[in-house]
Amino acid sequence: MPSRSMCPACGAALSAEARYCDRCGTPLSEKTASTPSRRRETSPAGRVALWVFIGILLFVFAGGAIGGYRLKSGHWPFQTLAAAPPASSSSLNASPANPTPKENSPTVTRYLRSVVSIDARDRSGSGFIIDNKGHVITAAHVVEGSRGCVTVTDDNGRPHQGTVLPYSSVTDAAMIYVPELAGWPDHLEFTSSQSLTPGDSVYVLGSPKGIGSPVRQAATVAKLGVGQTVEGRYFRNLIQLNDAVVHEGTSGGPVVLKSTGRVVGMVNASGGSTTASWAVPADDLVPLITGWLSQTPGNSCLFEKAVRTVPVVLTSITPRTGMYGVEGDDLADGADLALREMDALLRRVGYEVTLRREDDGGVPSAARDKAAAAAYDPNVIGVVGSLDNAATKSVAEVLEASGLTVVAPTAGAGDLTSFGWRHFSRLVANSNKQELALADFAAQTLKVKGTYLLDDGTPAASLLISDFRKAATGAGLTMAGQGTVGLSTDWAALKQKLLTAKPDAIYYAGSSDVGLRLVQGLRQEGVLLPVLGSQALANSARFQSYAGQGVFFTGLTAEPNEQFRRKFETVMGKPTRGYATYGYDAARVILEALVRYGEANPSKVPTRQELAALVRETKDYAGWAVRVSFGSDGENKAARIYIYEWRQGVPELWER
- Tens digits of per-residue pLDDT, 472-489? 999 999 999 999 999 999
The pLDDT of residue 364 is 97
Q: Minimum mean pLDDT among 44-53, 283-292, 600-609, 638-647: which range? A: 44-53
At residue 446, φ and ψ (nearest 5 deg) are -85, -10
Res. 31 pLDDT band, cuts 50 70 90: very low
- Is residue 254 left, alpha or beta, with left meaning phi > 0 and alpha meaning psi from -120 to 50? beta
Rounded to an integer, the average pLDDT of 225-230 is 84
- The domain 89-303 having CATH identifier 2.40.10.120: the answer here is yes
Question: What dihedral angle (degrees, nearest 10) is formed by the CA atoms of 263, 267, 270, 273?
Answer: 50
Q: Using the predicted structure, report yes or no on whether residue 610 has a pLDDT greater than 70.
A: yes
Provide the pairing of β-strand 310-318 with 351-359.
Answer: parallel
Average pLDDT, the chain: 82
433-555 maps to CATH 3.40.50.2300: yes
Parallel, antiparallel or unpaired: strands 149-153 and 380-385: unpaired
Domain extents in the chain = 89-303, 310-429+564-625, 433-555
Helix axes 389-399, 364-376, angle to 10 degrees: 30
Question: How many CA atoms does the CB half-sphere of 182 hold within 13 Å?
Answer: 6
Exposed/middle/buried for residue 515 (C-beta within 10 Å: 0-12, 13-18, 19+)? buried
> Among the ranges 48-57, 152-161, 363-372, which has the highest mean pLDDT value?
363-372
CA 136/CA 162 separation, integer angstroms: 9
The answer on pLDDT for 584 being more than 90 is: yes
Mean pLDDT over 376-384 rounds to: 97
Question: Could you tell me which CATH number the domain at 310-429+564-625 has?
Answer: 3.40.50.2300
Strand, coil or helix: 127: strand
Give the tens place of pLDDT for each residue, 181-217: 988 888 899 999 888 999 999 999 988 765 656 778 8
Provide the 3-class DSSP secondary structure of residue 130: coil
The answer to whether domain 310-429+564-625 and domain 433-555 are alike in fold is yes
pLDDT of 601 reads 93
Half-sphere exposure of 640 (CA within 13 A, CB side): 15
pLDDT higher than 90, residue 25 = no
**103-131 pLDDT, tens per residue?**
444 455 667 889 998 887 667 889 999 99
The C-alpha angle with vertex 65 and arms to 62 and 69, in degrees rounded to 5, equals: 140
Residue 228 has a pLDDT of 81
pLDDT at 173: 92
Who wins on pLDDT, 149 or 424? Answer: 424
Residue 124 φ then ψ, to 5°? -140, 160
Specify whether the backbone of 539 is left (phi greater than 0), alpha (psi in -120 to 50) or beta: beta
CA distance 93 to 169: 25
Would the pLDDT of 82 be above 60?
no
What number is the average pLDDT over the span 461-471?
94
The one-letter amino acid at 513: D
- Among 525, 523, 540, 483, smallest CA distance to 507 is for 483
pLDDT at 251 over 60: yes
Question: Which of 1-10, 43-52, 345-354, 573-582 is predicted with the least confidence, judged by mean pLDDT?
Answer: 43-52
CA distances from 446 to 66, 203, 503 (A): 53, 32, 13
Distance CA 305, CA 552 (A): 52
* pLDDT at site 190: 92
What one-character-per-residue DSSP string does 182-239 give? ET-S----B--GGG--TT-EEEEEE--TTT-S-EEEEEEEEEEEEEEEETTEEEEEEE
In the sheet that 424-426 helps form, which strands lie side by side, from edge to edge? 351-359, 310-318, 380-385, 406-408, 424-426
Is 232's pLDDT higher than 80?
Answer: no
Q: How many residues does the chain have?
A: 656
> What pLDDT is attached to residue 59?
44
148 or 177: which carries more pLDDT confidence? 177
Across the range 64-84, mean pLDDT stands at 29
Distance CA 282, CA 296 (A): 23
Report the pLDDT averaged over residues 435-457.
95
Model pTM score: 0.73
pLDDT confidence of residue 553: 94
Side-chain-side CA neighbours of residue 618 (13 Å): 36
- Quote the CA–CA distance of 97 and 257 in Å, as a whole number: 11
Across the range 226-243, mean pLDDT stands at 85
Gap between the Cα atoms of 5 and 421, Å rounded = 54
Q: How far apart are CA 130 and CA 189, in angstroms?
A: 6
**Share of the chain residues as helix, strand and coil, in percent rounded to the nearest 5:** 35, 25, 40
pLDDT in tens, 266-301: 998 876 667 788 999 999 999 999 988 887 666 556
